[in-house]
Structure 1
Amino acid sequence: MSLADAILLDSIVWPLCGALLVLGKRLTATHPASMYLIFHVLVFSSRSWGLVGGADRFMQMTDAEAVRALVMADVLLAVLTASWLLPAPARWDERPASVKPMNPSVFLAVSIVALPIGLYFLATNTYTAGSGLQDRAISTSYEIFAITWPGLVLLAAVYLYGFRWYLVGPLAAYLLFMGLQGEGRFRLILPSILVAQIYLDRKGRKLPDLRVLVLLGALVVAFPGLDALGESYRTGTLSTSSVVKTLTESFGDLSGGTTSDQQIFDQFAVSLTLSDELGHPQYGRHFVDLLALPIPRPLWPDKPATNEHLIAISTVHRPLAEVGTVFTLPGELYTDWRWPGVVILGFALGRFLLWIYHRAYTLGYGSVGHFVYLLLAAFFVQTFRDGLSTLPIFLLVENAPLMAMALISLHWKQPKPEGHGLAPGYAAWLRSRA
C-alpha cells in the first residue's frame, strides 16, 4: 500500500467512525470518543497529509513505516469505536443507595497544606518577564509538580463552588502565567480542558457551546507556539505583534501537519520498526518501573528510569531514548503485546473507559466518582499521546492534592441528609443536580 492509499483509507475511516458515534448519540464533551477522534485527526491524519506535502521526517522515517503506522492507528480507532457503540449493560447505570460527595471540609484541610507549599515552589521555580533563558536547577521532580498545586486548589474550588469571580480571576491569571513559562505546556492545556468540562457539567450541557469551542480552538492553535511565546516572555521581547506572528505561524504549521508535536506520528512509526527488531514484545515491563517513581532520585540515584522501554529498542542510528520519543497509545499497545494488544486490549480499554464514563454520570456531579472521572477525561489527550503508563503518574503524582481530596472524601463519614457539614447551599445544589 502506498502512502497515498493509506491516507485515502484514513480519510474514509475516521469520518465513518465519527458519523457512527454521532448517530449512536455517543459523542459528548466528556466522552472518551470525542477526545480520541480529535487526537487522531490532529496527530495521525493531518501529519500524514503533511508528509505528502514534503514535511521533514523524524529519523529518516520511510513511507512504508508511515503507512504501517497510519493503518495501525485506523485499526485502533475502528476497534475503539466498536467498543463504544456496543450498548452499555443496564447495571452500569444503576445508582447506588448512597453516593460519596466531594467534601468541602476535606477540600479546606488539603488546601491549607498544599497551597503554601505550591506557592513557595511557584515563586522559586518559575520564570518572570525578562528573566532570561537559563534553566533552573531541579533536584527532584516533586519541585516541578508542586508548581501546579495552587492551580489545582483553585480548580477544586471552582468544581465545588462554581465560577465565582474571586476564583475565576486568580485561576485565569495562574493559567496565563503557566502558558508563558515556555515549558510544561500541559500546565495550561490540561487545566483549561478541565475548566471547560466543569463549566459544561455545571450547566448540564452535553456538547460544547460557543464559548467553550472558542476556548478549546484557541488552545489547539496556540499549543505549538507556546514554547516560542515562553521564550519571548523570558527574554523580555513579548509584544502584541510577536504574539500575532507566533500564533499565525502556529496555525499554519498545525494545519499543514508540520509542527514538532505532530512528529509524534513519525516517532510512533519508527518505534514499531525498532520494536520488531528487538525480537520480542515488552509485555508492559515499563509499568513495573513506575513502582520506583515515588522515591526521589537523590535518595536512590540508580533507580530505574521510566523510559526503560525506550532504551531497550533504541539504536545508535535511532536513539529514541535520548530524544524523549513517545509511542502514542497504538504504539504502546503494539510494543507491549503486538497486534493482539492493539485489537483485544484496545477493545477492552474502550469498554473500560465507557464504564467509568457511565458510572461517573450515574453518580452525578459533586460525587467523588464524577470528580475523578473529569480529571481522567481532561488527561485523555495526554494518555493517547504518551500511553497508559502516564495514568498513575498523572493521578497520583501530578494531581496529588486533588486525589488526596477525592480519597479522603471517599472515606469520610457520610454527611446527614440535610447536608450538615457541607458548605452552605452545596447540599441543596447537589440534590438539584442529581
Structure 2
Amino acid sequence: MDLIFFSGLINLFFWLVIFFLTLLYMRMPIYHPFFIYLIYHFIGYVLRPFFIYSQNGSFLWNRIGVYPENMDILILTVISNIALIFVFFGFIAGAGGFKKLEIPQSFYIKVKKPIYFSITLIILVVLGLYANYVSMKGAGLDSVLAYQTSVDSSGGARLVGTSGYITAWAEFLPPICILLFMIPKIRKLAILLISAYVIMRFFAGAQRLAFVIVIAGVFFYYLISKKQRYPSIFFVIFLIFFAYIFDIIGGDRLAMRKLVLGETTITEILQNHKDTRGDNALTSDVVEYDVAASTLKVIHNYNEYSYGTQYLRILIWPIPRQIWQDKPVYTSIVNLNEYGDFRYLTTGIYADSYMAFSYISLTIIMFILGYFFSRMYNVLLHSDSVVMILFYWIVLIFTKTILRDGGVTFIYFWVFSLIPVLLLSYLGSLKVVRLK
C-alpha cells in the first residue's frame, strides 16, 4: 500500500507542473478541453491513489477479483504520467507553441428561417422525448431503465426488444438545449426546456452525464459571453454542490423517484450516501486508477494485448441486429472477463490505448488527443460555422467520455449529437454572430 501512496505523490507532482504551466503562463480557460482533461486526470489518477491507500484497498478490486501487485502499480504510475506528458506535448503543438491563449469573442446564433427551424425543432424534441419515454416507461421502483439488456461473455450489454437507434434519439436533447440557449430571442424557452430536462434526468437516475453536459455546456457559454476565463467563487460552490447531487444519484439511481413517490426522505438519502460513498469524497465515479491497475495485471501476467482490435467496433456498431442478430458488442480479442468481473466497467483511455501496442500506441494516441483539443479550441476562436461551433461544444461536453471509455464509444455520442445540429443549422439557416 505504501507504493500506492507514493504513486499518488508522483502523479501529483507531474500534474502540478503541467497544471501551473498551462494556467499561470498560458492562461488556459476553463472551457478548453485540455482543462477538463486535467481535472479528470487529477480526480482519476491523483486523488484516487490516496483514497485507495487510506482505505487499504479498492472496493473495485474486491468486485473484479483481480488484485494488482507492486509492479502493476509501478507500471501504471509510469503509464499515467507518460500519457499526461504526451497529451501536454500534443496540446502545445496544436496551440502553435508555449504562449498565452486567446479567449474567444462573445457570440450568439441567429435564425434566418424561423418557420423551418421551429418545425424541425419540434420534431427533434418529440423524438428525443420519445426515446426517454421508452427508456423509463413502467420502470417504477423495480429498475432504473424500462428496457431489458443481456450481457454476453465479453461483458458487453445489448438491448433486448428495443432498437439502439431509437434510444439514440435521446442524444438529440442535450445539444438542442445548448443551441437554444445561444439564441437570444428564445432563451427563455431554452431555460424552460433545460430545467425540465434536468428534472427528468434526475428522476430517471440513469445516464447522469446527460444532465451534467447540458448544465456544463450552458455554463461554458455564459463564461464566454462574459469574456471570463474562470468562474467566480459562487459558481465554484455551485459546481461542487452539483457534483454532490451527481454523486448522490450515483449511489442510488432511484433516489429521486423514491423521494417523489414518498418512499424515502432527504435525510435517508443523505445518510445512505454517507454510508455507501462518503469515504470516497466524490471520486466513486472516476475510478480509472482502480480499473487500470487490474487491467495492467491481466495484460502483463497473461501477455494479453489487443493489437488495436477494440477499435474495429466502430465498423460493426452501426449494423442493425435485424441484419446481424449475433453481432458482438465488443471486437477486442482480449476478453478481460475471462480473468475477473469487468462487466459494465470501462478501462479508461490510458489502459485501453496501452493494451493495443504498449507504449507506442499510448504515446501516439495521447499526443493526437492533445493536438485535437487545441485544434478544436482554434475552431471556437475563429470559425463562423454553427455546425463547427456546436461540434466544439459536443467535443467539450463529451471529453469525459473519451477519457473514461477509451476506444470508440465517444463517436456514438458525437454522431447522434451532431444530427440535430446539422438539421437545425441547415433547415433553419443558422448564422454565428460574433460581437466585437
Q: Same fold (TM over 0.5)?
A: yes
Q: Which residue of 2 aligns with 1:11?
A: 12
Q: Which residue of 2 aligns with 1:168?
A: 191
Alignment of 1:285-300 (within 5 A): 285-300=309-324
- The residue identity in structure 2 corresponding to 1:119 is L
SS at match of 1:180: helix
Gaps of 5+ in 1: 95-100, 413-420
Shift of 1:113: 2.5
TM-score of the superposition, structure 1-length normalised?
Answer: 0.81
**CA-to-partner distance for each residue in 1:146-175, whole Å, 9 max, x for gaps?**
234345433321123378333212311211
- For the pair 1:199 / 2:222, whether they are aligned, the reply is yes
Alignment of 1:6-405 (within 5 A): 6-53=7-54, 54-55=56-57, 56-58=59-61, 59-64=65-70, 65-86=72-93, 88-89=95-96, 105=113, 107-126=117-136, 131-134=140-143, 135-137=145-147, 139-161=162-184, 164-235=187-258, 236=261, 237-245=263-271, 252-255=278-281, 259=284, 261-277=285-301, 279=303, 281-305=305-329, 307-309=330-332, 312-320=334-342, 323-363=343-383, 367-397=386-416, 400-405=419-424
CA distance in 2, matches of 1:263, 1:34: 19
**CA-to-partner distance for each residue in 1:123-148, whole Å, 9 max, x for gaps?**
343268x9222452351223333234
Shift of 1:292: 2.4
SS at match of 1:391: helix
SS at match of 2:324: coil
Shift of 1:344: 3.0
Shift of 1:119: 2.7
CA distance in 2, matches of 1:359, 1:317: 44
Tell me if the contact between 1:224 and 1:250 (Cα under 8 Å) persists in the aligned partners.
no
CA distance in 2, matches of 1:39, 1:70: 16
Gaps of 5+ in 2: 103-108, 148-160
**Percentage of identical aligned residues:** 17
Shift of 1:49: 0.7
Shift of 1:34: 0.9
- The residue identity in structure 1 corresponding to 2:146 is R
Shift of 1:379: 0.7
SS at match of 2:281: helix
**Aligned Cα RMSD in Å?**
3.3
Greater share of strand: 2
CA distance in 1, matches of 2:336, 2:387: 42
TM-score of the superposition, structure 2-length normalised?
Answer: 0.81
CA distance in 2, matches of 1:57, 1:324: 12
CA distance in 2, matches of 1:121, 1:297: 18
Shift of 1:325: 2.5
- The residue identity in structure 1 corresponding to 2:184 is Y
Tell me if the contact between 2:92 and 2:371 (Cα under 8 Å) persists in the aligned partners.
no
Shift of 1:301: 1.0
Higher relative contact order (CA 8 A, sep 6+): 2
Q: Which moved more, 1:378-387 or 1:337-346?
A: 337-346
- Report how many aligned residue pairs link the two structures: 403
After superposition, the Cα gap between the structure-2 partners of 1:79 and 1:328, relative to the gap in structure 1 and judged at 3 Å, is same
Tell me if the contact between 1:66 and 1:266 (Cα under 8 Å) persists in the aligned partners.
no
CA distance in 1, matches of 2:268, 2:122: 39
